[in-house]
Structure 1
């Protein structure tokens, strides 16, 4: 029986004439006129005779061809069509060979519409790009398990806890995206990885903020470059850096700047824009910034777009300051708490914060624009030296 199945020899294949040569059991060596050769297996599946190619010779050796023939004969004996089974296996292999980097980019593209500025700043993608993809980017997503994720994020799990959390969150979204694409992935891999990594030991630290009493001196030391004008407006309005960097002339109407809801973190409502009262000094800064405007943006970058989120921070670094631009919001809030009796809800609204419970907010429709206009005007006067006494705001009740 063995001789009936294995009729050919490796040596004979090299000198075989043109034609079909049987090795037995339906395996044929086919020599063509052009000198090439290939392997063909003949089987009977579902009552029909079929031929399936097993590859070209000599890429597929005699031994390889016999092993493949044995495999597909067994499939046929189990009542399956070997040709269709091979096609199905190829499709599954193709689905499962998608690399994590490709899936991550596809997930990012799918979510851009939900992100600020269509995600052009790259903040959503950067935790993956910096801390996950360098190690796992070229790994098929179907092969990634909790141990891979643990080993990848372990170096930053405690030392850079916030970044690690973001990376884990983004990776979880990417895994779900892969599953939605029909790929075989472990949707629990990130949760299992968290269990392996353990509870984070990170202690939250606040953004360094300048003492509110020192802010006027810093403000008055600023010049009129694009970066310094941006810092001036940030301090004057107590708005976050993102809306400042992307402020557009079309958003300004008289002495009110309307920040689109999409640019407001923690905005007052899912679709609510945020009105910012502009003091006389803020309007002066905006007038100066208009000289530098490009495509309507008041604070353009050197080559394209707007200034980056690190531009103002780098300026403060060059001044030898540990404080950060975002900290001026805290400076303003501390001032309203320590030097005034401004109602809490008004002070919080100045920062664009949501205050009060859901029911309270449903009935409170005002954004306190009139009160905030007065507060920001007095804050501006304090910053520019027009008001010398710390209790410059008085009662707002």
Structure 2
């Protein structure tokens, strides 16, 4: 050893070009294409060439790297495969990792790739329902019986939540297998139906009929001006409630008559431009007055939420759902109870009745087209969607005013 100098190494790091330079005695300085500088000890053992990572530079300076190389070379001469020894130590350390640490590593690494809603819901289930029971245990000691116990306890209150908890557990163990923290997935073969009985069938999405829309729309002001405008925008634009709840005024372009939903706010994780027809743009302008300078289109009003968010926060989505429940009760049989998400199925069904082509209608809802269509059809259909939403909004305005509406298919125009 002794071929390299500190000045050489600093110059190589500054240049940033990938290199590998030997210092002698098997010690090698490496610099990756991404700029990671490290020390490697190359040696022969059992007839083959082996490598041991000694650490990164400058955490380990030249003189310290030489010292480590000498110590490990002595072990090799004494018959120890030092790279294999380090690997065993890493595996043993992983075997002692607690479930709490594994779950947190899973959330840190996997959640950025999930939709914000899915990540938030899964984090809540992990932190509130799973970690209190399994957190302190070594991850490798978590058994099938432990998983069944949690699923059974959660299932007594909600079978659908039990299903989500089981999914979260399974995903954590899959992550653990990839990291060699666990050797198997104790969730394998377990189903919520087997533990808690069959799941109740999901409630079918509603399509509000024209008569129901004629009953609902004129009564919307009774739930508050901002809430009324939010419901009409949800209907007219076909967006998800979460996308509207997180909307900011910086994403609304009145000159282009477009509202852009950023990647982070979209369930598909891909930004999406929503055309704003004149009536809908006017509803946004009315909301701008009610926003009172907030950056959010629909800001929170409760002091507890505003205070926790540094003085500005989006409105609570559950509040609108509660308002709609009260509205349906007040209408007393004139309309079935519906949720904000039912407004999307309502819009999709009426778009079909208005003669909007399937592809255009699906893109109005920002649905993935799927299959080869999604691969080869990269057209945004913005103009076609604008025409469809103009027709759909005109129908909504007719329902609100109680006027008739002549349904003329627009298939040729789109």
Confirm or deny a common fold (TM above 0.5).
yes
Match of 1:197 among 177, 194, 197: 194
Is 1:188 the counterpart of 2:196 in the alignment?
no
Change (3 A) 1:227 1:108: farther
Q: For 2:173 and 2:244, how far apart are their aligned partners in 1?
A: 35
Change (3 A) 1:278 1:213: farther
Is 1:104 the counterpart of 2:106 in the alignment?
no
Q: For 2:252 and 2:193, how far apart are their aligned partners in 1?
A: 51
Is 1:309 the counterpart of 2:307 in the alignment?
no
Q: 1:25-44 alignment to 2 at 5 Å?
A: none
* CA positional deviation for 1:173: 2.3
* CA positional deviation for 1:294: 5.5
Q: For 1:243 and 1:282, how far apart are their aligned partners in 2?
A: 16
Q: Deviations over 1:165-202 (max 9, x none)?
A: 3222211222244455653x353211143499369622
Q: Deviations over 1:133-191 (max 9, x none)?
A: 343344332321111101210255598444333222211222244455653x3532111
Change (3 A) 1:337 1:155: farther
Q: Deviations over 1:359-383 (max 9, x none)?
A: x333333222222212212222222
Change (3 A) 1:389 1:348: farther
Change (3 A) 1:226 1:158: same
Determine which structure has more spread, i.e. the larger CA radius of gyration.
1
Match of 2:365 among 330, 344, 351: 351
Q: For 1:127 and 1:334, how far apart are their aligned partners in 2?
A: 34
Match of residue 389 from structure 1: 404
Change (3 A) 1:347 1:164: same
TM-score, normalised via structure 2 length = 0.63
* CA positional deviation for 1:217: 3.4
Match of residue 258 from structure 1: 260
State the secondary structure of the residue aligned to 1:215.
helix
Q: For 2:283 and 2:170, how far apart are their aligned partners in 1?
A: 44
Q: For 2:317 and 2:119, how far apart are their aligned partners in 1?
A: 9
Is 1:122 the counterpart of 2:117 in the alignment?
no
Match of residue 379 from structure 2: 366
Q: For 1:351 and 1:279, how far apart are their aligned partners in 2?
A: 16
Q: For 2:328 and 2:374, how far apart are their aligned partners in 1?
A: 42
Is 1:280 the counterpart of 2:278 in the alignment?
yes
Change (3 A) 1:257 1:195: closer
Change (3 A) 1:236 1:150: same
Q: For 1:196 and 1:244, how far apart are their aligned partners in 2?
A: 35
State the secondary structure of the residue aligned to 1:257.
strand
Change (3 A) 1:355 1:115: closer
* CA positional deviation for 1:216: 4.1
* CA positional deviation for 1:244: 0.7
Q: Deviations over 1:51-103 (max 9, x none)?
A: xxxxxxxxxxxxxxxxxxxxxxxxxxxxxxxxxxxxxxx99997656543443
* CA positional deviation for 1:210: 3.0
Unmatched segments (≥5 aa) in structure 1: 1-89
State the secondary structure of the residue aligned to 1:242.
helix
CA contact under 8 A between 2:206 and 2:346: conserved in structure 1? no
Q: For 2:156 and 2:198, how far apart are their aligned partners in 1?
A: 6
The CA RMSD over aligned residues, in Å, is 3.4
CA contact under 8 A between 1:168 and 1:190: conserved in structure 2? yes
* CA positional deviation for 1:390: 4.3
Change (3 A) 1:148 1:277: same
Match of residue 245 from structure 1: 245
Change (3 A) 1:226 1:121: farther
Is 1:232 the counterpart of 2:232 in the alignment?
yes
Q: For 1:212 and 1:128, how far apart are their aligned partners in 2?
A: 43
Q: For 1:120 and 1:290, how far apart are their aligned partners in 2?
A: 29
CA contact under 8 A between 1:145 and 1:186: conserved in structure 2? no
* CA positional deviation for 1:113: 2.2
Match of residue 13 from structure 1: none
Q: For 2:227 and 2:119, how far apart are their aligned partners in 1?
A: 18
Count of paired positions? 302
CA contact under 8 A between 1:293 and 1:299: conserved in structure 2? no
Match of residue 52 from structure 1: none
TM-score, normalised via structure 1 length = 0.65
